[in-house]
Amino acid sequence: MYVHEDFHYDGGVRSESRTSVIESTVVVSSDQHVALKMPAYTFSAGDRDDDLLWSLMKTFNGVDLAETIAYIALSLGVAFTGSLAAVFLVALVQPGHDLPFGGGMFNLHGGIEVHVAIFAIATATFALMRWQAVRLGARLVGRYGMGLRCKVHSRLTEAPLASLADATSAEIANVLTYNVEIIVQGFSALQQLILAAVTSVVSLGFAFWVSPPLMLAAPVLACIGLMTSRVFGREQAVVSRQYVADMTRLFWHSEDFPRRLRHVRSFEREGSEKASYSAISARLYQGYRRQIELVASGRLILELLAAVGISAIFMFAHLWHGIDQPSLIAVCLLLGRVLPYALSTRQSFQQLRSAQPAFELWRKYMKMDPVQRSVPTVRAAISIATLHIEHMRIVPPPKGIEVAALNLVPGELCLISGESGIGKSSLIDVLAGMARPTLFSARLGDDPINFDDYREVVRKGAYVSQNVRPWQHSVRECLLWAAPDATDETMREVLMDVGFDRRLIRENGLDTALQSASNKLSGGELQRLLLAQVILRQPLLALLDEATSALDASSEIAVLTTIKRRLPQTILIAVSHRSSVLAIADQCLILSGNEPVTTIARKTDSRRVAPNAER
């Protein structure tokens, strides 16, 4: 495997380039190789830690900023009390001797008991303040992660459907879950860097105050440490970006696994599926291993430099005869406080760099503009008159869809029929008010309305598609999500209407689990449950996008007839490929692939419509 930009795993160094491409050949079995070439990642001089820090700071709210300042102040107190405890320890190491530094302020009167008590108080204060700083830091990190999740979820929820057209469900799942965890780890690493910086400044300040000659080497050691912190930085950025990309691909392999497995087995491609998954898993292993190796390598360099630095200080003290032993002990104790932070700083920088590609993915979705809504001239209706859509044009599909003279009447069922991929879902999105048509002219009763008015009128709607799966834990939670005030009696009644009551008798009633392997619902049962939500919702407009596709023909007719009866004030629009639905439909809207203009037939024309519906 090799990577441009002077970075390699086990291949040679390639020519320098601003574009990094990682290629690999992964041995899956003794007779099979899988070659992967991932998308290129580009980076420039702008991809630096300070850019990420500024970007993170801009996501802070007022509370985050205030608590961050409090965390820095508390860290300063921790560093100060810890340094004082280190200096007081010198008096215990050499009892009975006055300390030659501090102008006598550390020369306390009394016996060893007084010195021990003072050291214990300083150490206890240090421990308590550090404990409080950790608690404050944990609260800040936890709330920051919660804020990132809520912000991106809110933005996705408000985003126009068109802006999500090019986004994969795997990437969206990643940005809502694991991706935020990487950012949170980077933010936690930033806290550790702040603590390390404050502790280092205070400890080195104390050390310089105790013995200025011994600290002459500090600038040199600081420069060396800074240079080593930049070692492997560019490689770390490349590996981190690749890791995020591979995690997204792994989501693809894991998404809706039972359906995917049926598809794979029917094509007899189990071997290819295993090979592809193994290849991505191997890349994740290599990326994780390399990140740990980079951290370990940086730590090794710092440890060696620390050993050399401390040895140099002892040699310097030996050659400079004016340096006393208590000062040497105090300086070593203070530098010893810095050493653990110096070793962890390297890892913190690596985690911060790992968070950069994850943060870029988060910002990609945060840049989505929310749905723009104009101020409607009508209010949301409790009940509505007939909606007359005089003319409407929808794009996509590329040819567009022209709809004219479509009357949506409460209590009636409108069937939408047409070939797959012709634009039925796009039409449903517009009728639901979730996507804006390129042309819209309509009336509510006798009053003309624009699309924003239409959207306000049908705001109390219900949209169910064939691929929606309940995410609640039980039947009760699923139904209460749609109607929070529904009683148990009402829920049982609507479940009986859609034919779900037999499942309740076999299981635990309304508390039947939806995610349990032993109580797993079939596709038809899931659709019945979602249709029960529609009845409880009592919407003004119900759109069923193949929401009965998992039912057999007779069950589909029975359920749709019941819904129509239970919702006399609701406009029902259903997408179905079965011609049998025409028997209960009041009108049918037919989409033809030959021309963009739709055909609308009322009940009296159903015989003419029937041959065009797919079975």
Rounded to whole angstroms, the Cα distance separating 147 from 366 reads 12
What does the block give as tokens for 568? 């006399």
Contact criterion met (CB below 8 Å) for 25 and 37: no
Q: State the pTM of this model.
A: 0.66
Give 416-460 pLDDT, tens digit per residue: 998 888 888 889 989 988 888 999 999 998 889 999 999 888 888
pLDDT, residue 37, reads: 36
For residue 41, pLDDT over 60 is answered with: no
Q: State the greatest distance between any 2 C-alpha atoms of the chain, in Å, as a whole number.
A: 112
Contact criterion met (CB below 8 Å) for 206 and 334: yes
What domains are there in the chain, each with its CATH number?
Answer: 2-42 (no CATH), 49-366 (1.20.1560.10), 387-612 (3.40.50.300)
For residue 609, pLDDT over 50 is answered with: no
For residue 227, pLDDT over 70 is answered with: no
- What single-letter amino acid sits at 323? I
Rounded to whole angstroms, the Cα distance separating 276 from 365 reads 28
If you ran DSSP here, which 8-state letter would residue 111 be given? -
For residue 541, pLDDT over 50 is answered with: yes
Give 330-380 pLDDT, tens digit per residue: 777 777 777 667 667 767 877 787 788 888 889 888 888 876 665 555 555
**What phi and psi, each to the nearest 5 degrees, are found at residue 110?**
115, 175
> Half-sphere exposure (CA, 13 Å, Cβ side) for 545?
18
